[in-house]
Amino acid sequence: MINKFIMSAAAVAALFATPALADDTHEKSVVTGTAGGAVTGAIVGGPVGAVVGGAVGAIAGAAIDPPPRKVIAYVEQQPMPANPVVIQETVQVGHPLPKTVVLTPVPEDPTYAYAVVNQKRVIVDPNTYTVVQVLN
């Protein structure tokens, strides 16, 4: 019986993972999230849990994909700004910065930008202002 659940979860994971493979920049995290979510959902909720868990896992896997090492290295090497930006909100991965924060594009990879907010270097998706990574 357990084998049927695991096989169902794997089949569901494969169905959700196939469209995700088209986006090769986030491929590993989406597939890992889908498979992990499907297996966990199958154990907790059976076949229906596998479907829900796979979908949630795919979303979570895509949402927390860290930037490439070259982007991190670039941001770490930039000087601290003369006028620090301070905001009331907590700076967290997955949460957007206020639109009033000025972002600096990463020249090597324009899909990322950065800012120094509350004395922290923050890598951001410039389209949504969503924090992708906080550096110390």
How high is the pLDDT of residue 84?
Answer: 85
Cα separation, 134 vs 117, whole angstroms: 10
More confident residue, 134 or 47: 134
More confident residue, 71 or 1: 71
The residue ranges of every structural domain in the chain are: 2-63, 69-135
Tens of pLDDT, residue by residue over 29-66, are: 555 555 556 556 667 677 776 666 666 665 555 565 89
CB 60 within 8 A of CB 33: yes
DSSP assignment of 38-72: HHHHHHHHHHHHHHHHHHHHHHHHHHTPPPPHHHH
What global pTM score does this model have? 0.56
Task: State how far Cα 97 lies from the chain centre.
Answer: 15
CB 17 within 8 A of CB 30: yes
Tens of pLDDT, residue by residue over 3-23, are: 555 545 555 544 444 444 333
Tens of pLDDT, residue by residue over 61-109, are: 556 589 999 999 999 999 999 988 999 999 999 999 999 999 999 999 9
